[in-house]
Structure 1
Amino acid sequence: MAKEKTGGNGRESGRPDVKPGHGKFAVLGLGNFGTTVAQQLEELGNEVLAVDEDEERVNTLAEEFTHIVSADVRDERALEELGLGDFDAAVVAIGENLESNILCTLGLKHLGVPRVWVKAKSPAHHRILSKLGADRIVHPEFEIGVRVAYSLNYPFVLDYISLGSDYFVVELALSETVTDSTVGDLELEERFGIELLALKRGDELIRDEKTVTALREGDRLVVVGKQVHLRALADIL
């Protein structure tokens, strides 16, 4: 049996430039990870249904969400009563209870939810979810651990996105050793096989004359290339 609470959600997003979304999402499991996902989706303007098995937790979070409900996520009939088959996507954010995680995933797939993202705890759990047909499997603790390690090892890397096949888009901070030169002087493509996407200077994004613009302290480069080539570039930064 599902029990819904209607919250006020008086939080300010602090992101006035974010365009509102138009999706309909369910987040099942309201630990730290699930709550964050649900809050961000709602702040982006989407319709969000937040779900947890723990009624006390639902009561605690009632003011955080417009739609929040307590339900037995292991029961496919309970999921069907919530109308989840009509949602654009669902995120199974249940971490500790593997039975609930797996049965919830199975129920959502049976209901025909177009996209089911699931939090996994281990490689073995990942394999089970793959066989159940999860559309995307995430490992939040592992992924943030990798990002922290990269940030500590490469302090000049401000942000990065993995494109797969060992390719990355990376935002790099520049050291004093390269200021007063131009990007062209660095010969990124010739020496490193790295493509420059843009030069960032404060809030400005320089693209048209990025290779001839004199570099200043505080400038950042946005580049794309293979990890081995990016590491070679690190030696001169």
Structure 2
Amino acid sequence: MAKLQFVIIGLGTFGMHLAKNLAGKGAQVLAIDEDEEKVHEVSTLVTQAVQADATNDKTLRELNISDADAAIVAIGESMEASILTTLLLKEIGVKKVIVKGISPLHGQVASKIGADKVVFPERDMAERLAESLVSPSILETVELSPEYNFAEVLAPARFVGKSLRQLDMRTHYHLNVIAIKRKIPELLDSGETEFKEEVIIAPEPNEEIAEGDIIVVLGKDKDIEKIKE
């Protein structure tokens, strides 16, 4: 299986971490920045690191990046440079262009000129942190669509000892239970106890919820929130 190929343009905090993480997961990464020190810092960790001006059409084309699976424009300070780079990437024919948004206006412009996706890392992280602070029982959410999310929810005490049939979450909460994550104790030869995670996919209706279980559900945000009430 061919390795995924990514181009990261802009090695600020977001771009640098993204480049390192993608490379760490086995992807081929081309990292581009005008700052020589940043390029040098990441050079031993990624497939290729290049000091270049990504707003220069000739320079960008010479890097032969049209076959990349995705290019991420992580330029975090200059909206003009980010927009111009996005335009050039689309003209070159990169399959997917993802842009780090600097402001709501920048996000709107990037979308209009062809960016396939605009992300706001600081805003998104702030929203997730706020959610974890006010709803500690909701451990993680993944957006499936603007209306529906997958969520990992720590089973509340009132669920413990009851079967999924008794809880009937589809009727009472309008949620579908996709899986249950459970810690199973295992006694080691040393006499110590180690906990291993068991994932029960598509659990049966007679499956009982145990203390500490994490329930993976699919549903609307407002319905997921009801579990903690």
Deviation of the 1:86 alpha carbon = 2.8
CA shift in 2, pair 1:165/1:31, >3 Å: closer
Q: Does 1:233 pair with 2:227? A: yes
1:119 shift after superposition: 0.6
One-letter amino acid of the counterpart of residue 30, structure 1? L
> Could you tell me the percent identity over the aligned residues?
37
* Cα contact 2:154–2:213 (8 A) shared by 1: yes
Give the distance between the partners of 2:139 and 2:2, measured in 1 at CA: 27
- Of residues 206, 218, 221 in structure 2, which corresponds to 1:212? 206
Write the distance in 2 (CA, Å) between the matches of 1:73 and 1:207.
45
The Cα of 1:158 is off from its aligned counterpart by 1.0
1:81-122 CA distance string (max 9 Å, x none): 111223222110111122221111111111111111111111
Q: Equivalents in 1 of 2:15, 2:78: separation in Å?
A: 14
TM-score of the pair, normalised by structure 1? 0.85
Gapped runs of 5+ residues in structure 2? 184-196
Amino acid at match of 1:90: A
Count of residue pairs the alignment pairs up: 216
Please give the alpha-carbon distance, in whole angstroms, between the structure 1 residues aligned to 2:153 and 2:105.
36
Aligned partner of residue 190 in structure 1, secondary structure:
helix
Alignment partners' CA distance in 2, 1:153 and 1:119 = 27
The aligned residue for residue 7 of structure 1 is: none
1:166-207 Cα shifts (integer Å, max 9, x gaps): 211111102333222222222201112111111111221123
Alignment correspondent of 2:61:
80
The answer (yes or no) to whether the contact 1:76–1:108 under 8 Å persists in 2 is no
Return closer, same or farther for 1:31/1:214 CA change in 2, 3 Å cut-off.
same
TM alignment of 1:12-51, pairs within 5 A: 22-51=3-32
- Give the gaps of 5 or more residues in structure 1: 1-19
Cα RMSD between the aligned structures? 1.6
What amino acid is the match of 2:207? T
